Structure 1
Amino acid sequence: MSTESGIRLSPEDRATLEGWVADRNSPQKWVWRARIVLMWADGDGVTAIVRATGKTKRTAYRWRDRYVACGIEGLKRDASRPSRKPPLSAEVIKRVVDMTLHQKPPASTHWSVRKLAKVVGLSPSSVQRIWAAHGLKPHLIKKFKLSNDKAFVEKVQDVVGLYLNPPDKALVLCVDEKSQIQALDRTQPGLPIKKGRAGTMTHDYKRNGTTTLFAALDVATGKVIGECMPRHRHQEFLRFLRTIDRNTPKHFALDLVVDNYATHKHPKVKAWLARHKRFRLHFTPTSGSWLNQVERFFGLITDDAIRRGVFRSVTDLTIAIEAYLEHHNADPKPFIWAAKAADILEKVARGRRVLESQH
């Protein structure tokens, strides 16, 4: 309620406003608005209110009038303000979307916000808002590869069948080589992580040799049999097969999921497998390494132990890899394969249809 000198507060409203001022968790804009109204109600003049709150006379009058018109709730709301610029027309938005989808900038492969804004005569922020509203991200690209293996269907069904319905009295092992792992040393020592600063590492490095990690992931348990060797020829693969033979129970058959690397099909490897009947190789499709679960393990060891490591020799690198294997095998956890062969094949077929429709 207003009076000649200011406004009159009900006891309830006064208690509420004084509570806002006293509460340290109140939004600051509520606090100074409450102080303006309380000072008007106490008979203070506008000059005193301006001096006490640091606001302008116009602001003091505005929030007095807002309380008179809307009460306590009016002090919580900010007045809506009309936009300084008119909204973009549908034609302009359509032009931005069409150019993003169907055209390319001169001498470039894709649009940036500033390039497109310059062409269409908008601000970069306007182009960004249009892209966000339409889910467009020209700066990003996702990579893919569809296998052209003629036996793609049979190989997918074979490998996925091992994961979802493994044979009795057999171990399913995903086998592969992570080749050419470099022992990299940095040219200068980095700084450790601290509050407010990430750890640092020089962009350049010294190469101190390479090693190859042969690994066999037990699909059922998650345990990994691993061995580092200087090369990855058929001789090393045979050596690793013997390592697998020694480290697995003799009464189990061994179903090995491998890729199509020539080493795995070498005549000497085939001859060795012919003499060791419990070994059965199952090949993933070409360009289908994602079917081999050991690739997921290679991603983990790269992120956890290799990419940011500092190795002054191949020996240091090998020790780090062996330590990671030991730590992993102390508490192994299998990867849970859930995708059915039919679902994978349908997804691939759908991808082929999309590609054919676009080209």
Structure 2
Amino acid sequence: MKESWVIPPVANAEFVCQMEDILELYTRPYNPDYPLVCFDESSKQLISEVRKPLLAEPGQVERYDYEYQREGVCNLFMMFEPLVGWRHVEVTDQRTQIDYAQQIKYLVDECYPHAQKIQLAQDNLNTHVRASLYKAFLPNEARRILDKIQFHHTPKHGSWLNMAEIELSVLNRQCTRPGVLLTKMF
């Protein structure tokens, strides 16, 4: 098996500029009026068990057969405020610009209604654009939401700098492996 790595471009001014912006953002002191929120998303395959698991017995854990049936995919949106340890995960059927816009509106209106400006760290995914809000909402509503956010993008090939991506990685390893979450039982 061949291992692969994300190797940042050599001497790339754009990469360094965006990396320094994200790192500077992470070193700011906590300010509830300007909360730092990291945002990311991840697709997850949904499966169902084909055979009933063997129940746990003394000295033996519950056992699942390796065979499963595919049941489509869903999307996990992760919002993470690292300086206070707050996180929110929303599961949606898909990941479109409209879904992204609805999550950003939720962030502004429900999670941080009193914030002056949310410092939003996110990657450069094709749905993570301001225009997504204009697709989802009337222009005055899109502008109202956007006025509450200052966007900070991780560099291309540097999404590992987004703490929400790290949170999703932990969630996937601990909670969404087959047989734990997002599976349908008989």
Task: Give the TM-score of the pair, scaled to structure 2.
Answer: 0.79
- Cα distance in 2, alignment partners of residues 259 and 291 from structure 1: 9
Residue 105 of structure 2 contacts residue 145 of structure 2 at CA under 8 Å; is this kept in 1?
no
Secondary structure at 2:79 match in 1: strand
Paired amino acid for 1:171:
P
Secondary structure at 1:290 match in 2: helix
Q: Does 1:297 align with 2:167?
A: yes
Q: What's the counterpart of residue 16 of structure 2?
A: 153
Residue 41 of structure 2 contacts residue 75 of structure 2 at CA under 8 Å; is this kept in 1?
yes
- Cα distance in 2, alignment partners of residues 156 and 286 from structure 1: 9
Residue 225 of structure 1 contacts residue 244 of structure 1 at CA under 8 Å; is this kept in 2?
no
Residue 152 of structure 1 contacts residue 285 of structure 1 at CA under 8 Å; is this kept in 2?
yes
The answer to which structure, 1 or 2, has the higher relative contact order (CA under 8 A, 6+ apart) is 2
Q: What's the counterpart of residue 276 of structure 1?
A: 146
Greater C-alpha Rg: 1
Residue 18 of structure 2 contacts residue 155 of structure 2 at CA under 8 Å; is this kept in 1?
yes
Gaps of 5+ in 2: none
Q: What's the counterpart of residue 120 of structure 2?
A: 256
Q: Does 1:312 align with 2:176?
A: no
Q: What's the counterpart of residue 67 of structure 2?
A: 204
Distance of aligned partners of 1:225 and 1:252 in 2 relative to their CA distance in 1, 3 Å threshold: farther
- Cα distance in 2, alignment partners of residues 273 and 286 from structure 1: 26
Deviations 1:67-119 (A, max 9, x none): xxxxxxxxxxxxxxxxxxxxxxxxxxxxxxxxxxxxxxxxxxxxxxxxxxxxx
Q: Does 1:177 align with 2:177?
A: no
Correspondences of 1:84-233 after superposition (within 5 Å): 142-148=3-9, 150-166=13-29, 168=31, 169-179=33-43, 181-192=44-55, 197=60, 199-233=62-96
Runs ≥4 residues deviating over 6 A? none
Higher strand share: 2
Secondary structure at 2:127 match in 1: helix
- Cα distance in 1, alignment partners of residues 73 and 3 from structure 2: 30
Instruction: State the superposition RMSD in angstroms.
Output: 2.6
Q: CA offset at residue 294 of structure 1?
A: 1.0
Secondary structure at 2:80 match in 1: strand
Distance of aligned partners of 1:198 and 1:170 in 2 relative to their CA distance in 1, 3 Å threshold: same
Higher helix share: 1
Distance of aligned partners of 1:226 and 1:252 in 2 relative to their CA distance in 1, 3 Å threshold: farther
Q: CA offset at residue 141 of structure 1?
A: 6.1
Residue 175 of structure 1 contacts residue 294 of structure 1 at CA under 8 Å; is this kept in 2?
yes
Paired amino acid for 2:106:
T
